[in-house]
């Protein structure tokens, strides 16, 4: 006597779809936010740019440890008691954390950051030994 086993090949997809549907139906204020980041690597450095509009510099924390850079911060919802009648609040508020694995070619102790016009730019210079070098070979 054989027993037929029913296998749903789309079960994993349906579980994912349900999770996305739940996330999209939650009020945006209840969802964690994660700032958009661009990472560029040149011969001299790795540069990370993060969009952090309305985040104060004192609410930003950058740490480098064990070849991992962690960016943390907080964007507060400034509620003005004199302003009433919001029709829509789409921007996310609250805490965020982003972590990035750094290549071993980066000088961890020479990281620099600049914050201008809502964009945080973090520059991670490369070690001299990691920079490409060109050597002229003389033919004799």
Q: What is the mean pLDDT of residues 68-89?
A: 81
DSSP class of residue 137 equals P
**Top CATH class, 33-130:** mainly beta
pLDDT tens digit string along 88-109? 777 888 899 999 999 888 998 8
Does the reported pTM lie above 0.85?
A: no
The pLDDT score that the predictor gives to residue 93 is 84
Task: Give Cα 53 distance to the centre of its chain.
Answer: 14
**Residue boundaries of the structural domains of the chain:** 33-130
What would the mean pLDDT of 16-20 be, rounded to a whole number?
Answer: 55
* Cβ-count burial 40-73 (b if 16+ within 10 Å, e if not): eeeeebbbbbbebeebeeeebeeebeeeebebeb
- pLDDT, residue 5, reads 60
Give the position of tokens 């079960």.
Answer: 11
Question: Taking residues 60-89, what's their average pLDDT?
Answer: 84
23: enclosing H helix or E strand: helix 11-25
d(CA 10, CA 60): 42
Residue predicted with more confidence, 98 or 17: 98
Please, what is the average pLDDT of the chain? 80
Reduced to 3 states (helix: H, G, I; strand: E, B; else coil), residue 110 is helix
- 74 or 86, greater pLDDT: 74
> Region 113-138: what's the mean pLDDT?
85
How much is the pLDDT for 87?
A: 78
Give the pLDDT confidence of 20-45 residue by residue, as tens digits.
Answer: 555 555 555 555 789 999 999 998 99
The DSSP letter of residue 44 is S
**What would the two tokens of residue 95 be?**
């805490």
Report the pLDDT value the prediction gives residue 67, as an integer from 0 to 100: 87
Instruction: Supply the pLDDT for residue 138.
Output: 81
């Amino acid at each position: 006597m054989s027993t037929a086993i029913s296998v749903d090949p789309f079960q994993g997809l349906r579980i994912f779809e349900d999770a996305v549907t739940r996330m999209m139906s939650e009020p945006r204020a209840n969802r964690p936010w994660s700032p958009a980041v661009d990472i560029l690597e040149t011969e001299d450095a790795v540069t990370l740019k993060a969009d952090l509009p309305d985040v104060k510099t004192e609410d930003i924390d950058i740490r480098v440890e064990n070849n991992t850079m962690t960016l943390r911060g907080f964007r507060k919802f400034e509620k003005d008691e004199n302003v009433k009648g919001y029709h829509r609040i789409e921007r996310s508020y609250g805490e965020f954390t982003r972590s990035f694995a750094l290549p071993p070619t980066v000088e961890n102790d020479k990281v620099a950051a600049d914050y201008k016009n809502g964009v945080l730019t973090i520059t991670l210079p490369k070690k001299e030994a990691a920079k490409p070098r060109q050597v002229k070979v003389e033919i004799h």
